[in-house]
Structure 1
Amino acid sequence: MSHRYLILGLLTERPMTGYDIKKQVTVSLSAITNASYGILYPTLHKLLEVGAVEVNEIPQRGRPSKKVYRITQAGRDELASWLRQPAAADQVKTDQLDDFLFLGEMSLDGGLRPVAGVLAIAAAAQRIGIKGLVVPADNAREAAVVKGLAVYGFKHISEVADFLNEPGRYNPLQVDGQAELTRSRFHGLDLKDVKGQAHARRALEIAAAGGHNLIFVGPPGSGKTMLARRLPGILPPLSFSEALEVTQIHSVAGLLKDKGSLVSDRPFRSPHHSASGPSLVGGGSFPRPGEISLSHRGILFLDELTEFKRDVLEFLRQPLEDGHVTISRTRQSVSFPAQFTLVASTNPCPCGYFGDTIQPCTCKPKAREQYWAKLSGPLMDRIDLQVAVNRLKPEEITQQPMGEDSVSVRERVQVARDRARTRFQDDTPRCNAEMQSRHLRQWCPLDNATRNLLEGAIRKLGLSARATDRILKVARTIADLAGDENLQAHHVAEAVQYRTIDRMQ
């Protein structure tokens, strides 16, 4: 839609200032168009010249007069004429209109232009029983991924009129979403490039198998970032339903690179430590998903975690617990899914070398205490695997063989995930990290020896109830990787040792 008819349409509701028009477009229509003052005022001046609008200047003491624009009868006639063009009674049949949803942006010459968020709207249309969807041609493949919805794509409004008159001449676009999903698989960084670091590699495998949050703590050059960036390569592929969720979010955000296919790889988002709260959570007058939701069903990697502002990190607490994030505005409240795995890395102290076997730490105890104070207890409780990563010695760098490749590790991860999925059956969790208290009672019973071990760890480390639950979830994943039906003491013991930061305090 051109800004000319957009302005005329808004002015039929009531007289408005230029500011009012811009605000209305921003609040209600920002998903499909923008309206800067550099666009609005030249358009208003053209409408004034032809008598489509009139202006009333209201004096204001000490300030320039306020200009209030009002649509004239000539403007109403022009708008009505434009609206009648594609649906004149003798040109377009209207008996199909109730069965279809029409979505897109139309230019002044009748051309249809793509808009963001089509996949999410198509999925919603299918859920409420709409028969078909008519969209711009560039959006058609994206929408056609939704099963059970007839999707038609056109380049011009005249083609839409032809379709309404003779629908039998047109066939809905067919897209095999499953084929689109399997066409591409992750072929990225490989774990075999990582020498040594058996303890950290094991933690990475557990995180992938159970969907657990993970933080690597170690000096510069120890391989924290290198390890984290190889996690996507050992994760199981997205299911069709997961890929549909992820693609809808990226569609709403306007980030789909190829509008004809699903997002086939799990997201890996790595915002800079200067990121603001809204960039993580999402925001805007018309709410858009932030990095947290863009990481849904994938990984949110926060490198140099302690460099992020504390108040920004606190935004992570609610979505880490609930799996979604809610953005509230004056006129609306929007909830986006945010079921992601948090992976973080940080140095152990300001100088970076606390606990290093090669270079001594130069920080005073007070400085280390202040350094860790940036991370709140409730946030750290939500990080299941806290792993110390040490630098390799020179002889280890030159002599150690390459590590196990990602394909082999991913096979074990898939087996563990399948075992968990069989256990959950039709219940809510998709992985062990998503288990609730009732699931822990059902699937993580403890014998006396295991219970005594866990109680001792709780007392010694001062663990909270939340941290204890997360230890049990990690232990359940360790048991799944081992092929064990029941939790045993050594599963819990290994899970406890991944509370590195708790042991550092």
Structure 2
Amino acid sequence: MPIGRTHAVSLLGLRGAIVEIEADISANLPSFVLIGLPDAALGEAKDRVRAAATNSGCALSHHKITVNLSPAALPKHGSGFDLGIALAILAADGAIDAASIDRVVHLGELGLDGRLRPINGVLPAVVAARAAGFGTVMVPTGNAQEAGLVPGIRVVAAASLLDAVIWHGGEFDAVPVEPILRAVPDAPADDDTDLADVIGNEDSIAALLVAAAGGHHVFMLGPPGAGKTMLAARLPGLLPDLDAAAALEVSSLRSLCGLPVGSALARRPPLESPHHTATSAALIGGGSGMIRPGAAARASHGVLFLDEAPEFPSSVLDALRQPLESGVISIHRANAVAHFPGSFQLVMAANPCACGQYGARDSECTCTPMSRRRYLGRISGPLLDRIDIQLRVQRITSAHVRLADQTPRLSTADARARVLEARAVAGARLASTPWSLNSQVPGTWLRSARMRLGPTTTASIDRALERGGITMRGYDRVLRLGWTLADLDGSSVPGADHIGRALYLRKAMSS
């Protein structure tokens, strides 16, 4: 008998690899052998496929069936190979057109009644199929809308194995079945948070504007009730809409996590705010079987907010150090390395001490100096050194409240317009480089002969570097902040004032 051959996709991180599914039927005692490094869920496909085929009226051969998943050295996870395995076996048995299934990528889990169940990760899998040169992909009806978000590839929706068999030329009578659909996601609620809601804290609002314009990380230190969480929640609203590539990446991460994608790609930057009891796997990603993305990956192209940062385990916080530098989250396992995007903006908030009252004008701190140092020492120096903006946030007073209606305040819409203008200026300057934001530019480029600022402009940070007030990494980050401040002010080159303000934003927490 001929060998039936079709294709599926194996996901490792956000990247998909094409897997060739080969089926052979030999005249031996009845058995079903599945080879090619399947995991436990995939190994159980033998029973699912046989029962689904029998209950669909297209029973499998009673001879020995051997199914090979190639490349054999690539670990394969999950139940999304069921449809491809069933069709390859039926093609080897001559029940359907072998040439037809060889041109199509098949994704889907089979129920025992033969219906196709939706699976997670369809969006990145379809992207991988398109990148590999395939023009058609068959998915469960419940995943059809999601798969259709990928342009340039034909999506065939199948409600059951029998529908797929008939589509590939199988001569069976069609039997209508009710497809298994995913719950329709609720329409996203309108974001009713506005920057104009923030009373007082003008320095913090200005710092937030700089962070949004340049993509800089922020650390806010202040007593409870100072407005740290309120400020962080408004940062995503200042960011521009996602471009097509970023929107597809964000939606693919949601698909991989089993979150609803909807009928359109996500266009607004995400906000992730994990609880301080989160583990490294929850924050960064991991898993003993299939490697899943964590909150940091889901926040890519958006904001990762860590409230009560000192309450996170130090090992969890330090796991962010590598993604903050590279913009990529790499998770290593014995047999594979998974990569996820990690280009998020980190916003951390912390109380100044365990009781939270140190430095507050209206309260008295009961903590000893040693306990205060120990509390903030839970956030390591190398991690803080990677945070561009470090500022103190104070509680507002009754005077701020009285002046609230008399003083014009910056709205989210106006702030976003300023951010767009500043990013357009930076984008034009960086058009011939691989970077698009000031926070991405390496210090070596900023200190090169082409971009180097004059000694009178950098005098403040030169002195700070000589005295040990900042590290070389901190020096470069102040330069980035200076360029962002210049972009917001409409200046072509940062001046001494911009660099001085940038140094203040960098050192305001310790002042």
CA 1:335–1:121: 2 relative to 1, 3 Å? same
**Which position in structure 1 is the counterpart of 2:297?**
293
Secondary structure (helix, strand or coil) at the match of 1:230 reads helix
Identity across the alignment (%): 35
- 2:113 equivalent among 86, 103, 109: 109
CA contact (8 A) 1:283 1:289 kept: yes
Tell me the alpha carbon deviations over residues 67-124 of structure 1, each in whole angstroms, 9 at most, x when there is no partner. Answer: xxxxxx9784799x97688548665223222321111112222211111111111111
SS of the aligned residue for 1:147 comes to coil
Opposite residue 505 of structure 2, the aligned amino acid is: Y
CA contact (8 A) 1:113 1:138 kept: yes
Aligned to 1:319: 323
Q: Does 1:12 align with 2:33?
A: yes
**Stretches of structure 1 lacking an aligned partner (at least 5 in a row):** 1-8, 15-20, 47-72, 167-182
Aligned residues of 1:196 and 1:403 also touching (Cα < 8 A): no
Per the alignment, residue 425 of structure 2 pairs with 419
1:480 aligns to 2:487 (yes or no): yes
Q: Does 1:399 align with 2:399?
A: no
Distance 1:100 1:328 in 2: 32
Q: Distance in 1 between matches of 2:373 and 2:152?
A: 58
Alignment match, 2:436: 430
Residue 310 in structure 1 maps to residue 314 in structure 2: yes
Q: What is the aligned partner in structure 1 of residue 257 from structure 2?
A: 253
1:272 is the counterpart of 2:275: yes
* Count of aligned pairs: 434
Give the partner amino acid of 1:288.
R
Q: Distance in 2 between matches of 1:138 and 1:11?
A: 29
Q: Aligned pair 1:283/2:298, yes or no?
A: no
Distance 1:368 1:90, change over 3 A: closer
Q: Is 363-372 or 454-463 further displaced after alignment?
A: 454-463
Work out whether residues 244 and 262 of structure 1, in 8 Å CA contact, stay in contact via their aligned partners in 2: yes
Moved over 4 A (4+): 73-79, 81-86, 88-91, 183-186
Between the aligned partners of 1:149 and 1:433, the Cα distance in structure 2 is: 36
Give 1:145's match in structure 2, choosing from 142, 146, 149. 149
Q: CA deviation at 1:126?
A: 1.1
Q: Supply the distance in 2 between the matched residues of 1:360 and 1:230 (Cα, whole angstroms).
A: 30
CA RMSD of aligned residues (A): 3.1
How big is the shift at 1:438? 3.8
Matched with 1:134 is: 138
Cα distance in 2, alignment partners of residues 344 and 186 from structure 1: 25
| Aligned equivalent of 1:456 | 463
- SS of 2:447 mapped into structure 1: helix
1:467 matched to 2:474: yes
Which stretches in structure 2 are left out of the alignment for 5+ residues?
Answer: 1-29, 52-60, 68-84, 171-186
With over 3 angstroms needed to count, the CA separation of the structure-2 counterparts of 1:130 and 1:413, relative to structure 1, is same
TM-score by length of 2: 0.78
Evaluate the alpha carbon distance shift between residue 140 and residue 427 of structure 1 in structure 2; reply closer, same or farther with a 3 A threshold: farther
Equivalent runs, 1:199-210 vs 2, <5 Å: 199-210=203-214
Q: Which structure 2 residues correspond to residues 105-254 of structure 1 after superposition, within 5 A? A: 105-165=109-169, 187-254=191-258
**Who is 1:177 aligned against?**
none
Deviation string 1:39-87 (CA, Å, 9 cap, x unpaired) is x9xx9xx9xxxxxxxxxxxxxxxxxxxxxxxxxx9784799x9768854
1:442-464 Cα offsets, whole Å, 9 max, x none, are 57421121122221222345211
1:273, CA displacement in angstroms?
0.6
Name the residue aligned to 1:56. none
Q: Which residue of 1 aligns with 2:361?
A: 357
Following the alignment from structure 1 to structure 2, what is the Cα–Cα distance between the partners of residues 374 and 391? Answer: 24
Which letter does structure 2 place at the counterpart of 1:414? L
The 3-state SS of whatever aligns with 1:343 is strand
